[in-house]
Every structure is written in C-alpha cells, then in structure tokens.
Amino acid sequence: MALEQFNKAADLINLEDDIRQILSVPQREVHVALPVKMDNGKVKVFVGYRVQHNNARGPFKGGIRYHPNVSIDEVKALAMWMTWKTAVVDIPLGGAKGGIAVDPKALSQGELERLTRRYAYAISKFIGPYEDVPAPDVYTGPQHMAWIMDTYSALTGHLEPSVITGKPVETYGSLGRNDSTSRGVAITVAEAARRLNLKTNQLTVAIQGFGNVGSNAALIMAKEYGMKIVAVSDSKGGIYVKSGINVDKALEVKEKTGSVVNYEGAQKISNEELLTLDVDVLIPAALEQVITDRNAGSIKAKIISEGANGPTTPEADRILYEKGTLVVPDILANSGGVTVSYFEWVQNLERRQWTLEEVNAELDKKIRKAFNDVYDTSKQLKVDMRTAALTLAVKRVSDAIRIRGIWP
C-alpha cells in the first residue's frame, strides 16, 4: 500500500528514477531480540524493530507500537508514512517507526517496564536527539517514553530529554501533546467542513477506536466544536446513540468496564457497521486497512479524517474519490501528534516550556496551513487528497535529497 501510494505520487511529479529508488527502501532496518525476565522467573524473548526510512529533512522521527501483529513489513510502511507526514506538515524531521510484536495487555507493569528498557538499550546506538527521536504509537504512552528517556540517559551518562517525545508533562513532556493527534484530526474536519460549506456545529460523527486518538477526538469535537458524536467503538464492539453520546460518560464506562459497549441506552453495533452509518463525518482511529473495496461503496460520510495510520486501502480510495467523499489522509489528518512532538523536541533542546496556549496556537496554524495546501493541490491536480498530500511530501523530500546531493 505504502509503495503503491508513493509510486502514484512519484509518477505525477515525474520523479527521476535515482530518487525513486532511494525513497522506495528504508535507509536502515534494525531487528532486535529482547530477552525479558518474566514474573514467573522464566525468560521470554520478544522481537522488536526500528526502521529509519529517510532523514534528508531532519532527524528520523516516529512512534513505537506494541501489538501482536507488528511485523517488519508493517513497520517499514509506517516508517515511510512518517517521512511523508513530517514533510506534509513541514517540520524539519524525517521518518521512522518502531515496534515490538507483543500483546501488552498480557504483561504486568513490571514486565512491560523490563521489555521497554531492554528495547531502549537494544536500539540505543541508533537513536539520539539529532539521529532518531521516537515517540508513542499504538499501545504505548507517556510512561513508556519516560522509561526510554531514563534508560538512554543512564547509558549516555547524562539526562537527555530530547531523545524521545510524548513524555509525561512532569518530566520534559510538552503541554498539549497527549491530545495533539486528536486536536489535529478535529482541525482537519473543521477545515474540510469550511471548504465544503458545511456548518461545523451541525455535523454528526462516528469514531472507530476509543484509544488515545479516538477518545480525545470525541472530547474535542463535541466540546470545542459542538459536533454530535453518535457512534464510537473499541476492540470489543461499538455503540450508536442517535441523539448523541455523552463522551465523558463513555470514557467513564470504558475506564470502569474495559469497553464502551457497556454504555447504557445505546444500540450495540459492530466495528464494521460503524463505518457505514448515516453520518457526516467518519473517523477511523483504530488500525490499518478497515476501509476496503468491500465496504467503501456503502460509506455515507461526506468527510473521512484518518486518525489511524493506513485505514483505507488504495481500492477503497478510488471508490471514495469517485463518490465525492472527502478523505483527509492519515499523513495530514493525524499529523498533529508528530507536530507537537516536534514542539516538545524544540522545547527540550532549549530547556524551556511553552504554555498550552502557545502549543495549541502553533498546532492550529501548522495543520490549517497543511490542510489548505493539500486541498488546493488536490483541486489543481484533480486528484484525491491523499495523492495531493503525497505529491507535496514527496516533492519536499526529493528536493532535499537532490539539493544535498549523494555522498560520496
């Protein structure tokens, strides 16, 4: 999928073969075996990866995910998407991704800490404030980032907060980082509505996934933009309430019972049904490849903003474009996270903390500008938003490679 999307954009800008070859493969792939002492006294070996796709515009950047399905191919695709993401939103960073094949829900807190520190140690030679700056991704969060910062600092002999972003605010994290991905998603929906002449406070929204991205998007869209969240879901299933879901209550239910499906007075729906509901806005904020040629034809939303990475297959993209659905692609829609990661990195390097107002105002500016650049490009080139975003990104990265030159 990642290569198909890249080649489409490369064709559109007549990208020369030299640079096409360079960008088709990651610059470096690190595979690590991670022995961890489990609580039962036995050792278990996990497999982890760090893939660094491109650093022509700045240090590699991208999250670390913990999921049973993590594979080298998935991490390679996600690393390439990070290169485009940092370029679309125009921050001076490259693209990377890391992951461990593990079900983190099956591990104790102690096991998770030992696994995370061992992974940090195993990749420590390849990361650094000016080399590669990791961050959270699926099923990792501020605590994992704090452990990685601590391990890296222990290994280098001095505190090095700028080696990783998405840290807890108490220890060099940025204000506003935690809900920044969701805030970016909400901003892209508001901009899309503005360009389509729809009233933001009249939009109905369905959100697939109620993790960090989905749940915060629900909160921000409902409370700050007055949108009506009618459906949400998590890995156990979904709920639909025509008159609107009380997001605070849904969060409470998820916290107490482990899933939103226990929300009272809602109609239970499946994750698949959620995608084709009669709503104005659809936010896929779970995992990859959920919108496919099988369901794209039945999607009724006018705007899709991709909170997750890679939720739409290329075949589904074609169907949605022909139908006139405005798809805000992942590399733009969820770029708020890496944008505030960049702000966090800058704050860390300067040993200075921005206020929440400063963070959110800068984020707003960045995402709005990126959205409108991509929207205008899509109209000019008469292509979908994904191709437009990729075209912009591939051009920026290729220009950097061409101007810097190939050494030796």
Instruction: Quote the distance between the C-alpha of residue 350 and its chain's center.
Output: 26
What is d(CA 266, CA 260) in angstroms, rounded to the nearest whole number? Answer: 10
Between 61 and 302, name the residue whose CB sits nearer to ligand GLU. 61
Return the residue nearest ligand GLU (CB atom): 63
Minimum gap (Å) between residue 142 Cβ and ligand GLU: 12
Paired with 282 in beta bridges are: 206, 304
Looking only at the bridges linking them, the beta strands covering 95-101 and 60-67 are: parallel
Between 239 and 283, name the residue whose CB sits nearer to ligand GLU. 283
Residues in contact with ligand GLU by the rule CB under 6 A: 61-63, 85, 135, 137, 165-166, 309, 334, 337-338, 341
Between 135 and 261, name the residue whose CB sits nearer to ligand GLU. 135
Between 231 and 338, name the residue whose CB sits nearer to ligand GLU. 338
Looking only at the bridges linking them, the beta strands covering 43-54 and 28-37 are: antiparallel
Q: Which residue has the tokens 């200075």?
A: 352
Tell me the two tokens of residue 406: 């190939």
What is d(CA 37, CA 34) in angstroms, rounded to the nearest whole number? Answer: 10
Minimum gap (Å) between residue 94 Cβ and ligand GLU: 11
Between 118 and 167, name the residue whose CB sits nearer to ligand GLU. 167
Minimum gap (Å) between residue 400 Cβ and ligand GLU: 19
Between 142 and 337, name the residue whose CB sits nearer to ligand GLU. 337
Across the chain, how many H-helices and E-strands are there? 14, 12
Contacts of 320 by beta carbon, 8 Å cutoff, 6+ apart? 291, 296, 299, 304, 312, 327, 384
Q: Which residue has the tokens 């959100």?
A: 207
What is d(CA 144, CA 120) in angstroms, rounded to the nearest whole number? Answer: 10
Minimum gap (Å) between residue 150 Cβ and ligand GLU: 19
What is d(CA 161, CA 245) in angstroms, rounded to the nearest whole number? Answer: 39
Minimum gap (Å) between residue 138 Cβ and ligand GLU: 8
Rg of the chain over all Cα atoms, to the nearest angstrom? 20
Tell me the two tokens of residue 261: 């499906």
| Residue 256: burial class (beta carbons within 10 Å; 0-12, 13-18, 19+) | exposed
97 is catalytic: yes
Minimum gap (Å) between residue 270 Cβ and ligand GLU: 26
- CA angle centred on 249, ends 206 and 267, rounded to 5°: 50
Q: CA 62, 64, 67, 69 torsion: positive or negative?
A: positive
Minimum gap (Å) between residue 164 Cβ and ligand GLU: 9
Between 145 and 247, name the residue whose CB sits nearer to ligand GLU. 145
What is d(CA 221, CA 194) in angstroms, rounded to the nearest whole number? Answer: 15
CB 373 within 8 A of CB 392: yes
Paired with 67 in beta bridges are: 101
Strands (E), 244-343: 267-269, 281-284, 303-305, 326-328
The catalytic position among 8, 61, 76, 97 is 97
Minimum gap (Å) between residue 326 Cβ and ligand GLU: 21
Between 50 and 85, name the residue whose CB sits nearer to ligand GLU. 85
Catalytic positions: 97
